[in-house]
Amino acid sequence: MTDLIALMADLEEYLGDPWDAGALMPYPRILAADEDQRYPHEFVDVLASWGLYDWIVPAANGGKAVNVEDGFNLYRLVGRRDPTSATAMVLTSLSYMPVWIAGSPEQRQHFADAIRGGRKLAWGLSERRHGSDVLANETTARRTDGGWLLNGEKWTIGNATVACTVMVHARTSDKGGPGGYSIFAVEKDCVPPGQLAHLPDEPLHGLRGLDMSGVRLTDCFVPDSALVGRAGQGLEIALKSSQLARIAIASIAMACVDTALRSTLDFAGRRVIFGGTVAEVPYSRRQLAESFAELLIADALTTGAVRSLQLAPAQASVWSSVVKYFVPTLLEETLARLTTVLGARYYLRAHPRHGIFQKVLRDFAISNFADGNTVVNLKNIALQLDGLLASAVGQDPGEVARARAAVADLFDPARPMPPYEPAAQQLFSRAGDDSVLALRSAVGELRRAAETAGGRDAAWLAGCADTAGQLADEVHRLADEHAKLFADQGRAAGQSAELYDLAKQYSAVSAAAACVHLHLHGRDSLTPALRSPAVLLLCLERLLRRFHPTRRVTGPDDIDTVAGVLAEAHREGWLFSFRPYRVGW
Ligand SMILES: Cc1cc2nc3c(=O)[nH]c(=O)nc-3n(C[C@H](O)[C@H](O)[C@H](O)COP(=O)(O)OP(=O)(O)OC[C@H]3O[C@@H](n4cnc5c(N)ncnc54)[C@H](O)[C@@H]3O)c2cc1C
């Protein structure tokens, strides 16, 4: 098992102080590249030299990727400096997934070597006219002697121009449908002249330096060896690849908010107004503590989600969509709150200390729409709600016992896992959702912990048990509303706005379950100050208020405690995470 704490410290130390213009990856140069809309070659090369790509290439093919959590957390360190560099590199990793899932041994090795040699890959799924409706995509691949002829256009594709290879999703059956698409690794070096053209670069709102273009394929010949997996397997491979990507993109969202919170804390601690610092103003202090709690909610949820890819691949469909919907949605609100604490300075692009805020604010938005937008993921949860709610409400004793054992593995970062095997992921979670299923019993554990704890911990734990219990009760209401919706609307309920709304609420319960499970099972791996039940209580309050906006379970003393934990984490140089990852700033 990787010593992730040491690995993270090594990368952070290698990259140097982000405020030192002479370091390898400092904010002044990152902001300059963004202003110039320059592809971050210099930073990608620096990261590749350290060996970052090794963590996305399977160990069997010369890389070091065994546990997804290693790469996930390393990208948090990159993203908190420059989300553009992180995205550029994540795109290469996503584009490798099809060969990892279904490629031949030769393809796996060939592209592993290419990536480790510094070559970039692109993920060519989207088309201008179709977006999320991927089964309407028009790019075709037709058999010819010794290979295939590809025709069509892929747009907007990150890395499309700088990449050596584009993984092109093309229709291989005239009638289309789920079995009508295939994936081809189009290696530009091997394409005869005139058959592949790059589309113009699209200037972006955020990630300004990213290569955002596309390719036009005109009778583009690729050999049989370019087909990844079987003909007709394209959709299945794309969806399995997306399950990893949907979780991975949360690392960039969390990284953006880490930087925004850090920048705001610097301001709030120094800025004196009306005779005191902004951080001393009770309202601002609560806003900072709540923002910290929301980042920790995302941290807890992704801890389980990332580990689920190895421990519960049959449940990957639910985990990945809950993360992809909930983390960007929650953290977008966090960012909005932080802008009100930082005030007018958040709007200044050239501010020497806070200019980075406006960049991460813009860059963050990629997490909303890339790799299946928010709505696509809500739909995926909505379609599975029936079974998920039935098992969570039913609380079958045998199933609950199994789920409890499962969450102990999922949320204890010290427990070893089997190596990542992406082909094992399922597209539909017939196996349910162990995390939400085990929430009710975890509430009982919190209550028992409250009875044996002393001092303030006892009151905090009792508050956590009450709050988590109220969130667990929401599952029953959701099940009732779900049943009523289908009784009232029949089949039309499956496409109704109300069903999507229930999926949103289910995601919030799932986030609450993750916070509780991490507190109960991951304690020994957490930063000591973050084991405090005061932290858990504020996380749960943030989630309860999504259902009951006026309910409050924390008071000024609780907020002071969490604000103290936050201040210490910032002062001592910890990533804003439950786990003790060192950062320079
Ligand atoms: C910066 C950037 C990078 C990108 N990188 C890549 C890349 O590398 N490779 C790639 O293939 N693509 C890439 N894309 C395309 C991206 O994945 C798009 O999200 C995708 O094309 C879908 O488009 P859309 O989100 O605008 O939504 P559309 O599919 O055009 O839908 C429009 C709207 O309809 C609604 N909607 C969509 N689906 C549903 C549904 N199922 N139910 C209900 N409502 C729905 C939503 O409100 C949505 O916003 C990138 C795009 C950008 C901007």
Phi, psi of 165 (to 5 degrees): -140, 135
368 lines ligand 1 (CB under 6 A): no
Nearest-angstrom CA–CA distance, 319 and 317 = 6
The average confidence (pLDDT) of the chain is 97
Same domain, yes or no: 560 and 500 = yes
pLDDT (0 to 100) of residue 569: 98
Per residue in 508-539, pLDDT (tens digit) is 999 999 999 999 999 999 999 999 999 999 99
Query: In testing the pocket of ligand 1, which one of 128, 325, 375 has its CB within 8 Å of the most ligand atoms?
Result: 375
User: Which atom of ligand 1 sits closest to the CA of residue 126?
Assistant: 11
Where are the extended beta strands (E) located within 293-422? none
Last residue of a domain, one of 91, 117, 143: 117
Q: 320 near 242, Cβ under 8 Å?
A: yes
Residue 371, pLDDT > 90, answer: no
Residue 93's pLDDT band, with cuts at 50, 70 and 90, is very high
Residue 156, pLDDT > 90, answer: yes
pLDDT (0 to 100) of residue 224: 98
Same domain, yes or no: 38 and 80 = yes
Do strands 147-158 and 140-144 pair parallel, antiparallel, or not at all (unpaired)? antiparallel
CATH number at residue 32: 1.10.540.10
What is the CA(131)–ligand 1 centre distance, in A?
5
- Among positive and negative, which fits the CA dihedral 202, 203, 209, 210? negative
The CA distances from residue 427 to 137, 313, 524, in Å, are 20, 9, 33
Nearest partner of 582 among 1, 2, 4, judged by Cα = 4
User: Is residue 207 in a domain?
Assistant: yes
What is the CA(372)–ligand 1 centre distance, in A?
6
User: Is residue 477 in a domain?
Assistant: yes
Last residue of a domain, one of 213, 231, 249: 231
Largest CA distance in the chain: 80
Residue 456's pLDDT band, with cuts at 50, 70 and 90, is very high
pLDDT (0 to 100) of residue 242: 95
Same domain, yes or no: 200 and 84 = no
376 lines ligand 1 (CB under 6 A): yes
pLDDT (0 to 100) of residue 541: 98
Same domain, yes or no: 479 and 352 = yes
Q: Model's pTM, two decimal places?
A: 0.97
Do strands 181-187 and 165-171 pair parallel, antiparallel, or not at all (unpaired)? antiparallel
Alpha helix ranges (H) inside 453-495: 455-489
DSSP line for 128-142? TTTTT-GGG---EEE
User: Which atom of ligand 1 sits closest to the CA of residue 125?
Assistant: 11
What is the CA(109)–ligand 1 centre distance, in A?
31
What is the CA(132)–ligand 1 centre distance, in A?
5
369 lines ligand 1 (CB under 6 A): yes
Query: In testing the pocket of ligand 1, which one of 373, 377, 378 has its CB within 8 Å of the most ligand atoms?
Result: 373
What is the CA(379)–ligand 1 centre distance, in A?
14
User: Which atom of ligand 1 sits closest to the CA of residue 158?
Assistant: 8
User: Is residue 577 in a domain?
Assistant: no
Question: Averaged over 347-360, what is the pLDDT?
Answer: 96
Same domain, yes or no: 213 and 273 = no
Amino acid at 373: N
User: Is residue 479 in a domain?
Assistant: yes
User: Which atom of ligand 1 sits closest to the CA of residue 160?
Assistant: 8
Q: 322 near 574, Cβ under 8 Å?
A: no
Same domain, yes or no: 292 and 227 = no
What is the CA(200)–ligand 1 centre distance, in A?
19
CATH number at residue 283: 1.20.140.10
Same domain, yes or no: 83 and 129 = no
Which tokens belong to 87? 């995205």
User: Which atom of ligand 1 sits closest to the CA of residue 122?
Assistant: 8
Per residue in 435-445, pLDDT (tens digit) is 999 999 999 99
CATH number at residue 153: 2.40.110.10
Last residue of a domain, one of 82, 117, 152: 117
Nearest residue by C-alpha to atom 7 in ligand 1: 157
The CA distances from residue 584 to 3, 8, 47, 69, 309, in Å, are 19, 11, 17, 21, 30
238 lines ligand 1 (CB under 6 A): no
User: Is residue 203 in a domain?
Assistant: yes
Same domain, yes or no: 38 and 132 = no
123 lines ligand 1 (CB under 6 A): yes
Same domain, yes or no: 16 and 149 = no
Instruction: Mention every residue, 6+ apart, whose C-beta is less than 8 A from residue 264.
Output: 288, 291, 338, 341, 342, 357
pLDDT (0 to 100) of residue 370: 86
132 lines ligand 1 (CB under 6 A): yes
User: Is residue 470 in a domain?
Assistant: yes
User: Is residue 169 in a domain?
Assistant: yes
H or E segment to which residue 56 belongs: none
Structural domain harbouring 178: 122-231
Nearest-angstrom CA–CA distance, 285 and 307 = 33
Question: Averaged over 105-131, what is the pLDDT?
Answer: 97
Q: How many domains does the chain have?
A: 3
pLDDT (0 to 100) of residue 373: 87
Query: In testing the pocket of ligand 1, which one of 92, 137, 156, 184 has its CB within 8 Å of the most ligand atoms?
Result: 156
Per residue in 194-242, pLDDT (tens digit) is 999 999 999 999 999 999 999 999 999 999 999 999 999 999 999 999 9
Per residue in 312-321, pLDDT (tens digit) is 999 999 999 9
Per residue in 382-408, pLDDT (tens digit) is 999 999 999 999 999 999 999 999 999
pLDDT (0 to 100) of residue 236: 97
Q: Which of 110-124, 425-439, 459-473 has the lowest mean pLDDT?
A: 425-439
Same domain, yes or no: 42 and 159 = no
91 lines ligand 1 (CB under 6 A): yes
Q: 446 near 517, Cβ under 8 Å?
A: no
Nearest residue by C-alpha to atom 40 in ligand 1: 376
158 lines ligand 1 (CB under 6 A): yes
Same domain, yes or no: 216 and 248 = no
pLDDT (0 to 100) of residue 132: 86
User: Is residue 370 in a domain?
Assistant: yes
Nearest-angstrom CA–CA distance, 446 and 71 = 32
Question: Averaged over 109-125, what is the pLDDT?
Answer: 97
Nearest residue by C-alpha to atom 44 in ligand 1: 375
379 lines ligand 1 (CB under 6 A): yes
pLDDT (0 to 100) of residue 372: 80
Percent of the chain with pLDDT over 70: 100
Nearest residue by C-alpha to atom 45 in ligand 1: 375
Same domain, yes or no: 175 and 281 = no
Instruction: Mention every residue, 6+ apart, whose C-beta is less than 8 A from residue 240.
Output: 97, 101, 316, 422, 423, 425, 427
What is the CA(207)–ligand 1 centre distance, in A?
16
What is the CA(399)–ligand 1 centre distance, in A?
37
Residue 431, pLDDT > 80, answer: no
212 lines ligand 1 (CB under 6 A): yes
User: Which atom of ligand 1 sits closest to the CA of residue 207?
Assistant: 1
Q: 240 near 427, Cβ under 8 Å?
A: yes
User: Which atom of ligand 1 sits closest to the CA of residue 159?
Assistant: 8
